[in-house]
Amino acid sequence: MQKVIVLDFGGQYNQLIARRVRECNVYCEVKSYTTPLSQLASEKPIGIIFTGGPSSVYDPASPQVDPAIFELGIPILGICYGCQLMAHHLGGRVTAGTEDTAREYGKTDTFFETDCKLFKGLDKEGVTWMSHGDYMEKVPDGFSLVAHSAACPTVAICDESRGFYGVQFHPEVNHTQHGTDMIRNFLYEVCGATGDWTMGDYRDTAVAQIREKVGDGKVLLALSGGVDSSVAAALIAEAVGKQLTCVFVDHGLMRLNEGDEVEAAFKKWDINFIRADAEELFLGKLAGETEPERKRKIIGEEFIRVFEAEAKKIGKVDYLAQGTIYPDVIESGLGASATIKSHHNVGGLPDYVDFKEIIEPLRMLFKDEVRGLGRELGLPEYLVMRQPFPGPGLAIRVIGEITKEKLDTLRLADFIFRDEVAKAKLEDSMNQYFAVLTNMRSVGVMGDGRTYDYTLALRSVTTTDFMTADWTRIPYDVLDRVSTRIVNEVPHINRIVYDITSKPPATIEWE
C-alpha cells in the first residue's frame, strides 16, 4: 500500500491535510517533525507534506528538519510554514512580513500558472485561504514562481525537476477553491499515486491482521454503542467470532434511556455481551472533581479497572480492544502539536493494564472512514450514522462538579433538544448537537417567584470532518420551542443560551 507522510510542525490543520489525502484514496500518516530521517526513509513514502505551524523559520528555536530530507528523492509539498521551511533550507530567504510585503490573512484572490503540475486543470484565478505573517523575500535557485496575489509575488513556488512544491496558502481548508484538486495533483501527477486506499481493502487487511495477532486468544472490547466501538466490535467479530466478549460499561453518564437502547441493539449480534452496572462506582470516583482533564483521566482509569474485573469473571482474556480513532490520537498530542484534550482511550490509560496487549483496529482512521468501514461490514445505517458521543459521556457536558441530580437534569434537557430537532426534521442539516449544563446560576422569575438556577447551553455544529466546524443556524422557532419546553419541563434550569462559536477557536465539546 502506497503511503504519504504528513510531517507536522505544530499546524492547526495537520489532521485536515491527512484527511484530504485519504479522500484522494491515498493512505497517509501524520508524524512529528522530530521523527528521525532514517525512520521516514524506511517507510518508503511516495510523497511528504510539510504542514503549517505558528513559528518563524528564521527563529533559532523554530521546528526544523534534517536537510538531508531533500536528498531522499521523494517529492515534497510544503504548506505555509512548510513552504517557508523548504525555501529557508534550500537557499532562499524568509523575513517578517508587513502590510506592504505580503502579510496575508483570510480569503485572497490568487493567480496560478496552470502549466505547473500542482495547478494542472485548474482555473488561472481563484480564492485561497491565507494565514501567514512571514514573507519569502528570495526563493531558492532552481525554483519558479507559479502563483501570486496582489500583495505577494511568491504565493507558490516549485522545482518540478526535484518534485518540490510550496504554497503560502492552505489548500486543505474548504475556503480554498479547488484545494483538494491541488492536493490530488500533487499525489497523482507528482508522486505517482495509484489510489489503493479503500475501506474494502482496509477491512480485508484488518481482519487478517487481527486474526493473526489474536490466534486462539480471547478479546475483551468496550462497547458503548457509539459508531467507533460498534464498528470495532463488528470488525473484530468478523475476525475471531465468539472469541470476542463485548462489555458495555454502564457508567451512569449516558444520555436518556441510552443504556437500554445499547443493550437492545446488540441482542441480535453473535457476540458475548455483558452489561456492567458501574454508575455508583464512577460517580464516587468523580465526586468533587471539577477539572476536565482530571475527569477524563479518572474515567479512563475506571474503564480499565471495570474491564479487568469483568475479565476475571469470564476467565483468561488476552487482549483489550478499543475504538480509538485517529483524531483521538492526534488531539492527545503529537510532537509539536498542542495537546488539545486527552481522550479516555489514549491519554487516560493507567500504567498497568492486566492484558497482554491493547488492540485498536480503528486507530489510523478518521470518523468518516470509520463510518465507511461500518457500511463495508454490513452494520445498519442507524448505527453507522449515530450521533457522536464522547467516551467520557455527560461527565464533560456537566461543567464543574458532577452529581446524579445534575446528570438527570442534563439528560432530560438534552433529550428535549434532540426531540425537537427530530420533529423539525433538521438532523441532516447538523452533524453534532447536544446540551451542556453550565456551572453558572442566575436569577430568574417563574410564576410569581424568584428562582436562582442553572444556565443550559445548546450546541450544534455542521462539519465534514470534525476537525473544523461551523455553528448551525437553527431556525429561531425551533430554538424557541426547545427553550420553552426545557424551562417548563426540566427542574433547576431557568435560562437557555445558544453557542455560536466555530471550531476553531472553540472545540466542539465544551470540555
User: What is the set of active-site residues?
Assistant: 80, 170, 172
As a whole number of Å, the end-to-end CA separation of the chain is 37
C-alpha distances out from residue 258 to 320, 345, 511, Å:
24, 21, 21
Instruction: Report the run of H or E that residue 156 belongs to, with start and end.
Output: strand 156-159
Give the CA count within 13 Å in the CB-facing half-sphere of 314: 22
Peptide bond connecting 504 to the previous residue in cis, omega within 30 degrees of 0: yes
Go through 245-268 and write b for each residue having 16 or more CB atoms within 10 A of its CB, e for each that does not.
bbbbbbbbbbbbebbeebeebbee
CB 29 within 8 A of CB 5: yes
Distance CA 379, CA 356 (A): 29
Q: Grid coordinates representing 406? A: 445534575
Distance CA 302, CA 299 (A): 5
Distance CA 364, CA 206 (A): 11
Nearest to 157 by CA among 242, 268, 76, 65: 76
Nearest to 2 by CA among 56, 36, 31, 45: 45
Instruction: Report the run of H or E that residue 245 belongs to, with start and end.
Output: strand 244-250
Grouping H, G, I as helix, E, B as strand and the rest as coil, residue 286 is: helix
**Residue found under cell 525555501:** 87
**Residue found under cell 475527569:** 295
| Displacement of CA 439 from its chain's centroid (Å) | 27
Which residues does 5 contact at the CB level (< 8 Å), separation at least 6? 28, 29, 31, 40, 43, 45, 47, 48, 49
CB 270 within 8 A of CB 237: yes
Q: DSSP assignment, residue 58?
A: T
CB 253 within 8 A of CB 394: yes
CB 49 within 8 A of CB 79: yes
Long-range contacts of 302-305 (CB under 8 A, 24+ apart): 302/251, 302/278, 303/222, 303/249, 303/251, 303/344, 303/345, 303/348, 304/349, 304/350, 304/353
Q: DSSP assignment, residue 428?
A: G
